[in-house]
Amino acid sequence: MASFPGKRPFNDGPSILDQPRVIPGAGPAPHNDSRHGWAYEKPLNDPAIAEIWCYTPRYGYRAGETIDFHVHSTRAVFEIEIYREGPTPEVVYR
């Protein structure tokens, strides 16, 4: 089994693909296709772990505007909560 120095295990057992489960840290991923100095996300390729990637075309929206979410998930169903950022974050959609 491979090891990733400096990364802590996600759980005590191996994944079903016999890969270590790790929680990625900050900075570039230790993969051959990562670019030096770039933060890079890569799926764990382990169906036992739920993963989701979500982004919007813009950082900010006004009340009442439509938000286009671009989502990829390893699960067929997921839930989303939307917060208004500020000194006191406020849930605006659940």
Per-position b or e across 38-68, b if 16+ CB within 10 A of its CB = eeeeeebebeeeeeeeeeeeeeeeeeeeeee
42-83 tens-digit pLDDT: 677 778 888 888 889 998 899 889 999 999 888 889 999 998
> What mean pLDDT comes out for the span 11-34?
53
The last residue of one of the domains, among 29, 45, 61, is 45
Domain span holding position 18? 1-45
Q: What is the DSSP string of 2-29?
A: ---TT--BSSSS--TTS---B---SS--
Same domain, 6 and 26: yes
Q: Given this model, what pLDDT does residue 56 score?
A: 92
Same domain, 41 and 59: no
DSSP 74: S
Compute the mean pLDDT over every residue in the chain, rounded to the nearest whole number.
Answer: 72
